[in-house]
Structure 1
């Protein structure tokens, strides 16, 4: 009897003590979503313990009876990047932890190829690469890649003409010709297409966009002086939806449709088709200068990409794109019957281009990859009564050997680029009046790169490239990169290298075609050379509350020899080109921040402080059309009970120097501070589609608000009432009180004001 009594007392004591211990233990619970949609069957576990759970049909989970201590929570789901959070649990804690999963390739662990021509983890790359996914660009939906880049820190789409709205992309204040734009690593967006073809890349085909700031000529050759933008297209099959659509319209009468279809063809192939259609046929003149504020456009672009299965998982991909665009801007009463005449001014541009690109892994034991591309670009344009017709063909081939040996990761390659360019300007004129002399440029090159891994913390990359330009001779571009992984949350990178650029005046200088100015080339232009050094520090950490914070700091410096600078100021009737008798510098610092709070609030923000100067004859001045400070932001908040996402995006720019038509020009020599801000509301309560709406340019900012006129002499675009002296200079008369000629090149910001938009995205 005593034995049973003692057992009863002991059991009661153990039970009471267990309940007391459990009362002191902790619980965590929360909601797991994927792209803001509740995620079923996601796995939640405490690493190195037996505590684990899975989410229910509503994305909810709960883990209890956890002893106090330090833990690492791991959340994972098939097709999505795993998320880790460090927690410190106290006795009787009840912690709520909500997390949003992102698809593969959308986080800091992105696989990137742009920095080293190899597929590597973004964190492992010795070259700093910024990655932007469609989820980022959906925060401010745009009809093309050109406009989408306005929210990337240090990157600015620059409109170069008030009438036709063509433009280029600046990186860290350097003009568009210093930016190389690639599609799947192929240099097919260059020269004419950087001016006229950027707007025709369908958003629906984009997997991600990789941005490298600073010279990359040791891998990519000419044009990669200021930086490069690599547009990586989606792969058919895999995580790509069977079909998707994004339809959007604005209160200005703009209509955009992005369509994508992914399907398998038999057992050995998969194909992705993307179509973009954009239409705007509603002339607007809010600044009352009798010119269209925005060009009217009718554009279609069709893209198709095939992936083929091969033995031993060797790679073979083939893609093609066709673009047709009809755009015009000018006086409000212009129509096509006035095209090329001198009675009503208009700028009408017909663009036709097609592209072919592919990658094929050779059937050898060694990893040999053959990349190739070809594009044909036809331009039929008139600028008032000036006719510009041009054809450009670019062929490119590259063979790369990828070899790992001990701690060395070798990349050896040979490339050949051929550019054919012909137009109806003096740029390709022959000696006789009837002769023609198209430009034909061969650019063969070889390069070698060795990435040395001394240990998991230290990497050194050495690279060297040799090119032979058929017009300019030998060009050498070395580079070096060092990466120090202090720990998994702190990384330091130091990069140094050189770049070179060969100028093509008539594909870079729109003002030469409007008839407003003539081009004068003083001497034979030698290739530009640049020398760059870039220091990058990446810091990320997780707070105990589950908040993620990531910071990316960079300091950069570039020195230019033989800088080719357009001179707008010596003669207001000319653009004078010559190699700079001095030097140019680009330097600055930038900071990017990525913060995700546990309550559904996310912030992506960045700022760049820079100086781009030209020094000649012991005088230093700010370069034309380059700002000293720029900042961007994207603030997102998810109201989970309402399944509503609010995105507030914007940018701000400091003053930049602008091209005037002489000392009597009354327009300001510098732009003011200006900002474009947008807000969007997205409802995600449906399984396979979402609705979004918002307002663009909330501040209704346009350049005309700070200037009496933007286009000089818009009332006399053919200069019929302008009187000139013996030297061709405009005279001051009662009809022309400032002595100006017609000129639409005074432009720094879009003329399009506030507008609403609404759209529908579907994915199956």
Structure 2
């Protein structure tokens, strides 16, 4: 929806790659996209399709979970079987084609798809969503796009604060503290959610709740004026309930069955350590980072599946025109990466990838900005892959109208099971195929950003066209055996993304987000769980002379299809639905804010997945403090 405006000091906190000497004058960089390349990119120069949801907008709209925050972003299809299993599809891509990062670190280890559930927004600075292939910068699983969840670091001085909320469906609490000088700082945060949930079967039975606790500690320090060290450690534990399904059901009401015995546990651990060095007066910069993600999950008290990803990355940034790399009109970034992942589900196998990538960025006097990139992945367990991208942004002098467009490719690696399976279920044996190729997504988009009413309003319209080639499918080898292969034919996805914002009056802000999507399989059939139409209308009214605000969000979904695992076992269109959420806040004083919200105001009965009910009306009150 909106883009975030960051000063150089704030950008330093969000991305240590912007480390500066202590005596460097702090200047305003304008809007930047931290995740837009190997180093941050000014938004006005960025040609790819991006949305940024800021912490202020998250607070105004009363959003408490990341999955609900993403429902405001055009081009994203957010749906799931209850709130404990939420998937995100970007521009109609598969859910595992979206790479989710936390502070630039992969949120899920191994070949696991990251499932959004109770991920809290309390200590999030902003969420950046990059649509279209991003494999040049982020490797596999970024073929449809990237979601980077950036947490708070704190500004110079000592800050602390927290929040608490209680409502009809549970409570949540958070706390944070940070201290920072010109040379670096530390920040610590805690968030705990106790969501009582609701019955996903829709039968009024046992509530399927979510309990999640997250701790995070990160810091950085400028050892000399040109050498910086830093770290980021995060851990989460989650327990959530679910229900069973009935293969003998004949309708949606009978498919999901209330079952208090079903539950799951997850543990997530992220760690990053980095060092940065400026040489040649800042013209040549070096960054070395080590990252690790552990992601463990277990169902009903059984043995956990443990997945792990480890990576080492060396980034070199060089200002080509004699300027410091952070300010260069012509910049070359080069990166070397080593990554290895593994899973306890296939303990004899691991996947290793060695990668090299180059990025060029150029800004020209006529208002044209270019970004070009190429990446080569050498894979140990399957075929190597090459990805590329190119984007351009052109701003017309005087009018502020900006054209932007991009093209490129992205890849998704085969899973462990698809590569190495040798398992029998009942009378059927599944065999892996080590000759699989990575799936490839080819894409282009073009759009225009138009300011109006003397800058009080902004409209951005983007057309996109994407083609998925070599999608991996299972097939029948013989009466007792199935295996995997790269599918013949292409899956096509095209559509339009529209965002608009308007400062209608001094006290009223209006926002609009709309996506039209046409997504089909190689045989021409419709892709499931990808709504044809998604519309969000949002309005924020400032009240009490700016001390308070009220926000209303209306979301409409139409043309969403899903496979029925009951009755006719066919793919059928789900009913259209419209939901309305309200939130309000009031500043009791300069440090303490009273909050309230109502979700699903009109108690709409709806579903994103056949048979799974969604939450009815719920109300909450809370308090937020910062010092």
The reply to whether TM is greater than 0.5 is yes
1:586-735 equivalences in 2 (<5 Å): 586-616=493-523, 620-641=524-545, 643-661=547-565, 664=568, 669-703=572-606
Does the residue aligned with 2:300 lie in a helix, a strand or coil?
strand
Aligned residue pair count: 576
Distance 1:80 1:637, change over 3 A: farther
1:336-355 equivalences in 2 (<5 Å): 346-355=261-270
Does the residue aligned with 2:57 lie in a helix, a strand or coil?
helix
Does the residue aligned with 2:373 lie in a helix, a strand or coil?
strand
What are the ranges of 5 or more consecutive residues in structure 2 without an aligned counterpart?
1-6, 12-27, 245-257, 322-328
- Aligned counterpart in structure 1 of residue 174 of structure 2, from 235, 241, 258: 258
Deviations along 1:275-330, one digit per CA (max 9) or x if unpaired, are: 0101134765783264x4x5222221101111212322544321101111122233
Distance 1:136 1:686, change over 3 A: same
Q: Which residue of 1 aligns with 2:343?
A: 421
Deviations along 1:637-680, one digit per CA (max 9) or x if unpaired, are: 11244833110013221122211236635x98210112232011
What are the ranges of 5 or more consecutive residues in structure 1 without an aligned counterpart?
1-76, 82-106, 332-342, 429-436, 705-709, 711-744
- Does the CA-based 8 Å contact 2:144-2:441 persist in structure 1? no
Distance 1:609 1:363, change over 3 A: closer
Does 2:225 match 1:225?
A: no
Q: Which residue of 2 aligns with 1:408?
A: 330
Distance 1:627 1:247, change over 3 A: same
- Aligned counterpart in structure 2 of residue 555 of structure 1, from 443, 463, 485: 463
Does the residue aligned with 1:487 lie in a helix, a strand or coil?
coil
- Aligned counterpart in structure 2 of residue 157 of structure 1, from 64, 70, 78: 78
Q: Which residue of 2 aligns with 1:318?
A: 231
User: Take 2:527 and 2:490, find their aligned partners in 1: how far apart are those partners?
Assistant: 12
Does 2:503 match 1:584?
A: no
Distance 1:200 1:269, change over 3 A: farther
Distance 1:450 1:280, change over 3 A: closer
Does the residue aligned with 2:96 lie in a helix, a strand or coil?
helix
Deviation for aligned residue 1:521: 6.5
- Does the CA-based 8 Å contact 1:583-1:614 persist in structure 2? yes
User: Take 2:401 and 2:594, find their aligned partners in 1: how far apart are those partners?
Assistant: 39
Deviation for aligned residue 1:559: 1.2
- Does the CA-based 8 Å contact 1:141-1:148 persist in structure 2? no
1:70-469 equivalences in 2 (<5 Å): 109-159=30-80, 161-162=81-82, 165-189=84-108, 194-196=113-115, 198-199=116-117, 201-238=119-156, 242-252=159-169, 254-264=170-180, 269-281=184-196, 284=199, 287-288=202-203, 290=205, 292=206, 295-312=208-225, 314-330=227-243, 346-362=261-277, 364-365=279-280, 366-382=284-300, 387=302, 389-406=304-321, 408-423=330-345, 428=346, 437-469=347-379
State which structure, 1 or 2, has the greater radius of gyration over its C-alpha atoms: 1
- Does the CA-based 8 Å contact 1:393-1:419 persist in structure 2? yes
Distance 1:532 1:215, change over 3 A: same
- Does the CA-based 8 Å contact 2:10-2:155 persist in structure 1? no
User: Take 2:86 and 2:620, find their aligned partners in 1: how far apart are those partners?
Assistant: 23
Does the residue aligned with 2:408 lie in a helix, a strand or coil?
strand
Q: Which residue of 2 aligns with 1:720?
A: none
> C-alpha root-mean-square deviation of aligned residues, in Å?
3.6
- Does the CA-based 8 Å contact 1:192-1:377 persist in structure 2? no
- Does the CA-based 8 Å contact 2:582-2:598 persist in structure 1? yes
Distance 1:559 1:642, change over 3 A: closer
Deviation for aligned residue 1:234: 2.4
Does the residue aligned with 2:212 lie in a helix, a strand or coil?
strand
- As a proportion of its length, which structure holds more strand? 2
Deviations along 1:199-242, one digit per CA (max 9) or x if unpaired, are: 45442332221111000111111011111111222234338x71
- Aligned counterpart in structure 2 of residue 498 of structure 1, from 391, 409, 413: 409
Deviations along 1:41-89, one digit per CA (max 9) or x if unpaired, are: xxxxxxxxxxxxxxxxxxxxxxxxxxxxxxxxxxxx99999xxxxxxxx
User: Normalising by structure 2, what TM-score?
Assistant: 0.83
User: Normalising by structure 1, what TM-score?
Assistant: 0.69
Higher RCO (CA < 8 A, seq sep 6+): 2
1:488-567 equivalences in 2 (<5 Å): 489-504=400-415, 525-543=436-454, 548-564=456-472
Does the residue aligned with 1:218 lie in a helix, a strand or coil?
helix
Deviation for aligned residue 1:167: 2.3
